[in-house]
């Protein structure tokens, strides 16, 4: 009997199949496909999509989505959702803008305050979810509304406006600009946020695949009960992941405020869905326990390419939502098929 089992086990998994069952394969293929699609239109129309300027444009949009999508992907692999990242962007941006313009704080202090606030929001989200046992979908929807509401309320109470500008007048702005908003690559203006995004992907990939914590993320997302039985600190892992999404939303808010020198109470609206869509397109399983940071990066890339590609093609920009929706549906179907392959990989 053991002989038959051994031979059955020894069947070599074909390389193509091994490639197919990686979580990010769909997103890599998808983002290349949409790039080729818009590149053909771009060349035909000579609209500049394939130029350095066009590339810089979709890269910088994508980079912002990557900064949101990667921590959300980690959280989703850990089995939870965070719908409050949009509200976090609005709140963190406003904290930086109000503290540095209305209260005359050094912008670095304002940024630090925003990050501390983000850590607290992440802890609150995680604590509420773990303590109540309610779905994180609902809990973070609640905190999202609270964040947007309080941000709007406080902003109009303090400034009487919904947009706060003049951040570039704050002390320490030039050094903050160098870190968060400078452009690289000479005249072609590749914003530094691309570097931030790549660094984040590298960090998240290392965390997921190279550390014990990463193993725990897969464990708590795959089966929180089994993970707890075996000694994984489930609550701690999930709270840290919620802190991660809030902190990255704060990082994006910082980049945006320093780049635009303004903060808007509506900035960040719907960004939580962008992050989730990018993660899902990138092969992250909605029920947790499966996915990759690199997949989320390619999901965000597909998102950015479609959004900017449509702008360059001269079509009404609102059409991009329809395309994204279509890609999302295709990606979910492809991913569920790929996962079925993964689970029968021995044959």
Partner 1 sequence: MSTQTAPLIEVQHVSKYFGSVIALKDISISVNASEVMCLLGDNGAGKSTLIKILSGVHQPSEGRYLFEGKEMHFSSPRDALSVGIATVYQDLAMIPLMGISRNFFLGSEPTQGWGPFRRFNVKFADQVTREELGKMGIQVREMTQPVGTLSGGERQSVAIARAVYFGAKVLILDEPTAALGVKEAGVVLRYIAQARSRGLGVIFITHNPHHAYPIGDHFTILNRGSSYGTFAKSEISREELTGMMAGGEALEELSHELAEFARTDEKAAATLADAAREFEAVAGELHVEQLPPKFVDAEHQHEQLPSVDGEGKR
CB of 76 to partner 1, least distance (A): 13
**φ and ψ at residue 20, rounded to 5 degrees:** -65, -35
Q: Binding mask 259-298 vs partner 1 (x if CB under 8 A, - otherwise)?
A: --------------------------x---xx--------
Q: From the centroid of its chain, how far is CA 31? A: 16
Looking only at the bridges linking them, the beta strands covering 163-165 and 183-184 are: unpaired
Token pair listed for 3: 């002989």
CB nearer to partner 1: give 168 or 223. Answer: 223
x-or-dash string of contact with partner 1, 6-45, rule CB under 8 A: x--xx-xx--------------------------------
Alpha carbon of 186 to those of 169, 179, 189: distances in Å? 25, 16, 6
Out of 187, 231, 316, 318, the only residue in the binding site for partner 1 (CB under 8 A) is 231
Give me the least distance between CB of 5 and partner 1, in Å please: 7
CA dihedral 175, 114, 181, 89 (to 10 degrees): -170
Binding partner 1 (rule: CB under 8 A), the pick from 16, 160, 186, 212 is 212
Q: Which residue's structure tokens are 């999508």?
A: 69
Question: What does 242-302 look like in DSSP terms, one character per residue?
Answer: HHHHHHHHHHHHHHHHHHHSEEETTTTTTHHHHHHHHHHHTT--TTSS---HHHHHHHHHH
Q: Does 216 engage in binding with partner 1 (CB under 8 A)?
A: yes
Q: Find out whether 122 and 239 touch, Cβ atoms under 8 Å.
A: yes
Among 174, 229, 270, 336, binds partner 1 (CB under 8 A): 229
What is the nearest approach in angstroms of partner 1 to the Cβ of residue 218? 5
> How many other C-beta atoms are found inside a 10 Å radius of the C-beta of residue 133?
8
Of 115-123, 217-225, 276-284, 312-320, which segment contacts partner 1 by CB under 8 A? 217-225
In the complex, minimum distance from the CB of residue 54 to partner 1, in angstroms, rounded to a whole number? 39
Binding site residues, partner 1, CB under 8 A: 1-2, 5-6, 9-10, 12-13, 206, 209-212, 214-216, 218-219, 222-223, 225-227, 229-232, 285, 289-290, 339, 342-346
């Amino acid at each position: 009997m053991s002989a038959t089992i051994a031979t059955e086990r020894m069947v070599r998994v074909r390389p193509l199949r091994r490639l197919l069952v990686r979580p990010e394969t769909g997103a890599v293929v998808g983002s290349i496909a949409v790039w080729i699609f818009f590149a053909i239109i771009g060349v035909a129309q000579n609209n500049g999509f394939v130029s350095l300027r066009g590339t810089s444009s979709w890269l910088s949009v994508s980079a912002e989505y990557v900064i949101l999508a990667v921590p959300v992907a980690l959280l989703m692999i850990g089995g939870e959702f965070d719908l409050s990242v949009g509200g976090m962007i609005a709140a963190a941006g406003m904290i930086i803008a109000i503290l540095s313009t209305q209260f005359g704080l050094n912008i670095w202090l304002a940024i630090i305050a925003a990050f501390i606030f983000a850590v607290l929001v992440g802890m609150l989200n995680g604590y509420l979810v773990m303590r109540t046992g309610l779905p994180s979908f609902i809990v973070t929807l609640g905190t999202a509304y609270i964040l947007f509401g309080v941000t709007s309320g406080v902003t109009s109470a303090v400034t009487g406006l919904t947009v706060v500008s003049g951040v570039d007048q704050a002390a320490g702005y030039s050094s903050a600009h160098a870190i968060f908003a400078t452009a690289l690559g000479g005249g072609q203006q590749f914003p530094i946020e691309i570097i931030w995004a790549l660094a984040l992907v590298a960090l998240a990939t290392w965390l997921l695949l190279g550390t014990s914590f990463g193993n725990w993320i897969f464990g708590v997302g795959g089966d929180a009960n089994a993970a707890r039985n075996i000694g994984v600190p489930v609550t701690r892992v999930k709270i840290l992941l919620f802190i991660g999404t809030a902190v990255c939303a704060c990082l994006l808010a910082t980049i945006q405020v320093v780049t635009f020198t303004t903060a808007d109470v509506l900035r960040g609206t719907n960004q939580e869905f962008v992050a989730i869509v990018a993660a899902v397109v990138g092969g992250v399983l909605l029920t947790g326990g499966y996915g990759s940071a690199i997949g989320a990066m390619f999901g965000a890339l597909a998102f950015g390419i479609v959004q900017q590609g449509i702008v360059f093609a001269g079509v009404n920009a609102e059409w991009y939502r329809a395309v994204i929706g279509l890609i999302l549906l295709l990606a979910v179907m492809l991913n569920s098929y790929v996962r079925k392959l993964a689970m029968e990989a021995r044959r």
